[in-house]
Amino acid sequence: TTRTPEFLGLDKSSSLLPASESVNEVVVGVLDTGVWPESKSFDDTGLGAVPSGWRGACESGTNFTAANCNRKLIGARFFSKGYEATMGPIDVSKESKSARDDDGHGTHTASTAAGSAVDGASLFGYAPGTARGMATRARVAAYKVCWLGGCFSSDILAAMEKAVVDGVNVLSLSLGGGSPDFYRDSVAIGAFAAAEKGIFVSCSAGNAGPSSMSLSNVAPWITTVGAGTLDRDFPAYVTLGNGKNFSGVSLYSGNSKGTLLPFVYAGNVSNATNGNLCMMGTLDPAKVKGKIVLCDRGVNARVQKGSVVQLAGGAGMVLANTAANGEELVADAHLLPATAVGEKSGDAIKMYLFSDPNPTATILFEGTKVGIQPSPVVAAFSSRGPNSITPAVLKPDMIAPGVNILAGWTGGIGPTGLAVDDRRVAFNIISGTSMSCPHVSGLAALLKAAHPDWSPAAIRSALMTTAYVAYKNGGKLQDVATGKDSTPFDHGAGHVDPVSALNPGLVYDLTVEDYLGFLCGLNYTSSQINTLARRNYTCDPSKSYSLYDLNYPSFAASFDSTSGGPTTIKYTRTLTNVGAATGTYKATASSGSAGLKIAVVPDTLSFSKAGEKKSFTVTVTGSAMPASTNAFGQLEWSDGKQTVRSPMAFSW
């Protein structure tokens, strides 16, 4: 990716980052649509021999042989038996029955996590710079599990099984949609086994935001990643015939003449009831030819709307957000001059369209702008808490860059993914929690290299407790969906800060035993635990299992709004000293609500050696509140140099 290394501070901190030899040993496995091995992001120049413990392979198939792998791309497997069992044999004229990526998504995620540095990268000149993965020296293993018809759980399980056996250190899954029950969810099941073997598993939180309780991949042994913006934008302005300007975004590659053209609303140049959406075949070419068309966002793909306008003879498109998307602007590499505008601008433009007898407009493309503030802001599409399955575990865990991310792309299709798009690009700019997840996967690879003895939970703790929730000017992280402060239900512990995560001081660690106790707390039966964790495990009937005692780096709960009185929850946590041998940390708990009282005992922890563990309790008392009330707080442990911060989130 371009810009995200700078945005995350990776460019200025080479002395703090792990030595390249240790990162060389880390393998990031990516379960996705495969990989385009010819991408320069998988150039292996300067990389040493493949890690000695690596047991993976490069499987041959359609347009893919072992020769496509190298010392960067060290594994490439495909899993299609489950897909073919349901969908029938793969038509190799439409998709490669191999690890070759015909879609682009897998190449994008793999190169984001661990792609080599590529100078002179851009998409049609947009987002120029040196594109690199987060862990440029780490190795990549691609496991293709997603096909034209979707990603099937039997294939996902088979791929996770192979990845574990192959010896990956980090698994990155930018997909979701499983069952709410962990023991039915193949990703949660596979991730449990992976975590047990010391493999860090990061997953995308989902793109179902800004609705609350819209998360995917919420098992506590998974690191769940939401999406935020960068400080980069691609402005493209709409100028109306009345002289008014509205800002939008676009990745359109051609030039604009800058002359005013006739401007129409799609709903007025179509006989279809949903003509405003610019669905395929709904626009009347006689009324569209040579004009700029305003289409409303929703239902069909954004880039397809542009194609529909182009096919109808339109000269340009303004894509207007509706209430569902608010002011979030996602840039696309449209086939015709086009720009996306927010709901407010869209409404204002429509007012002009409906009131002026001869409306005109032009679109001006301004290229790439960096330094946009505030940034990051939580993306509207990023899925939100509360965690509907286990409210005691706050999800997402954190956010990372996921909006307008440039990374490697397949040579198989154009940047829009449309069949009519015959352009081919080495890099593409796309958005989603799919893009934020591999950022964290790559950063986890860096942490793994720096601290080979850390467990996946310790790595996640380091990433979470050092994440930030305020801008440098002190303002709180914003949510583009509301234009207001974001909350832990939106950003989890905050935006990832990898340089701080390298040296967190203390971590909240977790073992498989802790997760099994958590499953007992969920009242799972022995059979359900065996299904998920592959072992006979009986919860001790004499023991009281509390979900609040899972040693998670955040605190959450759902209070009963009908209880009529205050509710008290007691959490127990243990911190492990991974910093200097000695240190005294003081607790500071704060709440943004009068309805919350937080007490920490003891409020001072003194460590006298590395690896030492110290426990404490947090008692949270929530007043009686109406249903749907949310309240937030935070707990910080600080020795004056390092601060270990945990978010607190409560719902009624």
Partner 1 sequence: QQQERRTYIVHMAKSQMPAAFQHHAHWYDSSLKSVSGSAQMIYSYDTVVHGFSARLTAEEAGSLEARHGILAVMPELRYELH
Interaction with partner 1 in 443-502: which residues (CB under 8 A)?
none
Local structure of 345: helix, strand or coil: helix
Please report, as residue ranges, which positions from 196 to 215 form the binding site for partner 1 (by CB under 8 A): 204-207
Q: How many CB atoms lie within 10 A of CB 584?
A: 12
In contact, 305 and 293? CB cutoff 8 Å: no
Would you count residue 184 as binding partner 1 (CB under 8 A)?
yes
Residues between 125 and 164 that touch partner 1 (CB under 8 A): 146, 150-154, 156-158, 160-161, 164
Establish if 365 lies at the interface with partner 1 (CB under 8 A). Answer: no
Please report whether residue 29 would count as binding partner 1 according to CB under 8 A. Answer: no
Q: Which helix (H) or strand (E) holds 445?
A: helix 433-450
Nearer of residues 211 and 527 to partner 1, judged by Cβ: 527
> Which two structure tokens, joined as six digits, stand for 198?
């010391």
105 is catalytic: yes
Which lies closer to partner 1 via its Cβ, residue 270 or residue 433? 433
Considering just the CA atoms, what is the radius of gyration of the chain in Å? Answer: 25
Interface with partner 1 (CB under 8 A), residue total 52
Q: How far apart are CA 516 and CA 496, in angstroms?
A: 28
| Binding residue (CB under 8 A) for partner 1 from 82, 248, 376, 504 | 82
Which residue in 20, 22, 62, 179 binds partner 1 (CB under 8 A)? 179
Q: Which is nearer to partner 1, 191 or 309 (CB)?
A: 191
> Residue 350 belongs to what H/E stretch?
helix 343-355
The residue among 166 and 233 lying less far from partner 1, judged by its C-beta, is 166
Tokens at 92, concatenated: 């190799």
- Indicate the residue among 490 and 549 with the shorter CB distance to partner 1: 490
Distance in angstroms (rounded) separating the CA atoms of residues 84 and 80: 6
Query: Considering 32, 155, 479, 509, which one is annotated as catalytic?
Result: 32
Give the residue from 17, 32, 194, 215 showing the smallest Cα distance to 112. Answer: 32
452: three-class secondary structure by DSSP? coil
What one-character-per-residue DSSP string does 27-76 give?
Answer: EEEEEES-B-TTSGGG--TT--SPPTT----B--BTTB-GGG--SSEEEE
Residues 297-326 that bind partner 1 (CB under 8 A): none
Active site annotation includes 11: no
For residue 95, the minimal CB distance to partner 1 (Å) is 14
**185 lies in the site for partner 1, by CB under 8 A:** yes
Q: Which amino acid is at 573?
A: R
- Candidates 127-135, 180-188, 572-580, 592-600: pick the segment binding partner 1 (CB under 8 A): 180-188
Identify residues 566-605 at the interface with partner 1 (CB under 8 A): none
Residue among 194 and 261 whose Cβ is closer to partner 1: 194
Asked if 81 is part of the footprint of partner 1 (rule: CB under 8 A), the reply reads yes
Please give the angle made by the CA atoms of 443, 55 and 204, to the nearest 5 degrees.
35
Residue 534 as a binder of partner 1 (CB under 8 A): the answer is yes
Known catalytic residue: 646? Answer: no
- Picking from 259, 278, 247, 243, the residue whose alpha carbon sits closest to that of residue 352 is 243
- CA-closest candidate to residue 648, choices 624, 626, 618: 618
User: What are the residues binding partner 1 (CB under 8 A)?
Assistant: 32-33, 81-82, 85-86, 105, 146, 150-154, 156-158, 160-161, 164-165, 174-179, 183-187, 189-190, 192-194, 204-207, 216, 432-434, 437, 527-528, 530-531, 534-536
Catalytic (active-site) positions = 32, 105, 434
